[in-house]
Chains A and B, each alone.
Chain A
Amino acid sequence: MAMTEAVSAPAAKAPARWQDFVQLLKPRVMSLVVFTGLTGLVCAGRWVNPILAGVAILCIAVGAGASASLNMWYDADIDAKMRRTRSRPVPSGRVQGADALALGVVLSMFSVMLMGMALNWLAAGLLAFTIFFYAVVYTIWLKRWTAQNIVIGGLAGALPPVIGWAAASGSVPLNAWLLCAIIFMWTPPHFWALSLYTSEDYKKAGVPMMPLVAGAASTRKQILIYSLLFAPLCLVPALTGLGGPYYLAVAALGGLVFVLLAVRLFRSHAGEVGKQRKDDGLYDVRAGAKDARNLFAFSILYLTLLFATLLVEHLMRIKPLELS
């Protein structure tokens, strides 16, 4: 197996520390998942015992960590080829692939069982599906096979608010799926903007990211199309009653900036390293990369602001009696 070969030849094998196992769980990704899951849980508008609510969030976090560990186990061969990921615990040889696999499986079982026992089995089932979708459908199947990998695979990252909602209420109404749809539509412009200036890394690893398969121009066009669909979608929660006036203001203003950045990126030469102007080619490439970086950075800020506003609005709706 190519992966085993890549992993079995580390330069200097240091013993695995417990911090390496924490790194397998991708704590930074976990924090975003916790945040969106918490928003879903609060937006459900049902009173949940605070201890059980905490357990639900813990299960979502551990489930996300488990799928990250499974991802690092399977992707060790391509992680070893990319500058951004080669220092991860498995490709660097600090943690054995089998240990990462075992950690992923054990934590998956732990999080799903505890979610079912503490909250309900709908939330547990959705959590199990999310882990399966990320580890098997995205990591093992889509990632190495199609340029649509992050589009379809984005569902795994979009489901945490639905799990949070299900954990609180035992049901998943349209508004819960609306939160899922917002993250789902946000994913392609976010990741493709990143891949426009990191495609060399993906090329080395043989991962069929959109700029490598369809070219930079097509990727920029697709980013613009997704952005034009994404921005109006973010306004919908204000119409369904999920979001209030503050949410509407943030969604409208942020959506406008998002589309403007996508238009600027579309008109740039981002991702086209070889295409240089006669007068100042180097500047041209840098300017393009800057547009891609701007959209990537703003996409994180915008999604965070959207969910933070929803969270605050729903926390403000809780009456003092419900807290006592």
Chain B
Amino acid sequence: MSDPARESQVEAKARRGRNIALALGLVLFVILVFVVTIVRLGASVTQQPF
């Protein structure tokens, strides 16, 4: 029979890994949207007549 304490430990480790990956993904997405906005905005600004 498998040890329930060890099982929960493995499960907790896997959950922690998934949560970190999800957090990193979300942070990357936010950074990506910010950078894209700045690049697109920059292109529009340089095209404006002063």
Residues of A within 8 A of B (CB): 14-18, 21, 49, 51-52, 55, 58, 110, 114, 117-118
Contact = CB atoms under 8 A, between A and B. Distances in A.
Given A16-B14, A110-B29, A118 B36 contact: yes
A17 B17 contact: yes
A49 B16 CA distance: 37
Interface in B1-50: 10-11, 14-15, 17-18, 20-21, 29, 32-33, 35-36, 39-40, 43
Contacts of B15: 15
Contact of B18 (A18, A52, A118): A18
Nearest to A59: B32
B21 A18 contact: yes
Nearest to A17: B14
Given A49-B43, A51-B39, A114 B32 contact: yes
Contacts of B36: 51-52, 55, 114, 117-118
Nearest to B29: A110
B10 A15 contact: yes
Contacts of B32: 55, 58, 114
A52 B43 CA distance: 12
B18 A21 contact: yes
- Interface of B, secondary structure class, is helix
Contacts of A58: 32
Contacts of A114: 32-33, 36
A21 B21 CA distance: 10
A52 B33 CA distance: 11
Contacts of B17: 17-18
Contacts of A55: 32, 36
A17 B21 CA distance: 10
Contacts of A51: 35-36, 39
A55 B33 CA distance: 10
Nearest to B12: A15
A16 B17 CA distance: 9
21 contacts: A14-B14, A15-B11, A15-B15, A18-B17, A18-B21, A21-B18, A21-B21, A49-B39, A51-B39, A52-B36, A52-B39, A52-B40, A55-B32, A110-B29, A114-B32, A114-B33, A114-B36, A117-B36, A117-B40, A118-B36, A118-B39
Given A17-B14, A18-B17, A21-B18, A118 B29 contact: no
A18 B29 CA distance: 17
A58 B36 CA distance: 13
Contacts of B14: 14-17
A118 B40 contact: yes
A307 B25 CA distance: 31
A52 B10 CA distance: 40
Contacts of A16: 14, 18
A21 B17 CA distance: 11
